[in-house]
Amino acid sequence: EELYGKIVPLVSDTESIAKAVRRYGNLIKAYQKSLKRSKAKGAMATDMNEKEMEQQKEAADLAKKSLDDLTGAANALLFRGDVDVYQRTRTQMLTYLNAENQKAQAQSSSSAAANEASKKKPTTKLPPCKWEYRGNQDNQLHGPFTTDQMISWTQGGYFIGAQAVQIRTLRPKPKSTQEDLMADLMDDSDDDDDDDDGAEMDRGEWVSSNDVNFQAYLP
């Protein structure tokens, strides 16, 4: 992206890099020919001729610098594997740069939203739980999901920034001592499954996923 940014100002709207190289080369050659003609005459140049030659020299010096910068950046891209770089037009390079800028801005916005949200999140450990959320598009409940799943998704850019959703915790309701005793008596001794399927759940308050520090809910 940086190399394309260096190339774009050196290429005109309708040019490819190859055409720009030829244009700069022609400017340099034109000055060299004028210089030879002036020396061949062997006569003192008029003030007007001196001024014209000085202008041509400045144009040629600028063309040489532009040519060096252009070929340097293009060759660097060529060595990186962009074998068609010299055929790329200014329009194509601008389209690429705009797409990269939009991508960078989106990533920056997501990162800023995540950083801002982290400032509001608690740092103390909270009781483990599962999660359900309400979809922005379908307005349906989705879940339950584990805290590890939620962390993985937020790290991938989901449920933060513009993609934030309403979310709440799910925990099994605590049982009384009598209920625990009856559950132990009724439990099959060969059944070691300790998941929460079928258990009555306590549901927390709805909050924005931007405001949740999922790390605090890890065991």
How many Cβ atoms are within 10 Å of 10's Cβ, its own excluded? 21
Compute the mean pLDDT over every residue in the chain, rounded to the nearest whole number: 80
**Is the pLDDT assigned to residue 187 strictly greater than 70?**
no
Task: pLDDT band for 175, please (50, 70, 90 cuts).
Answer: low
What is residue 120's predicted lDDT score, i.e. its pLDDT?
53
Higher-confidence residue of 182 and 30: namely: 30
- Pairing status of strand 201-203 against strand 130-134: unpaired
**Is the pLDDT assigned to residue 84 strictly greater than 80?**
yes
What is residue 94's predicted lDDT score, i.e. its pLDDT?
87
**Is the pLDDT assigned to residue 198 strictly greater than 70?**
no
Say if residues 15 and 23 touch (Cβ distance below 8 Å): yes
- Provide the terminal-to-terminal Cα distance of the chain, rounded to the nearest Å: 43
Per-residue pLDDT tens digits for 17-49: 999 999 999 989 988 888 887 777 655 455 447
What is residue 47's predicted lDDT score, i.e. its pLDDT?
47
Q: Provide the token pair at 104.
A: 């960078």
d(CA 111, CA 197): 36
d(CA 208, CA 168): 9
| Mean pLDDT value across residues 66-95 | 90
**Is the pLDDT assigned to residue 178 strictly greater than 50?**
yes
What is residue 67's predicted lDDT score, i.e. its pLDDT?
92
Per-residue pLDDT tens digits for 93-133: 888 888 877 777 777 666 666 666 555 555 566 778 999 99
Q: Is 130 helix (H, G, I), strand (E, B) or coil?
A: strand
Question: What is the reported pTM?
Answer: 0.44
What is residue 194's predicted lDDT score, i.e. its pLDDT?
44
d(CA 184, CA 191): 11
pLDDT above 90 coverage of the chain, percent: 26
Per-residue pLDDT tens digits for 146-161: 999 999 999 888 898 8
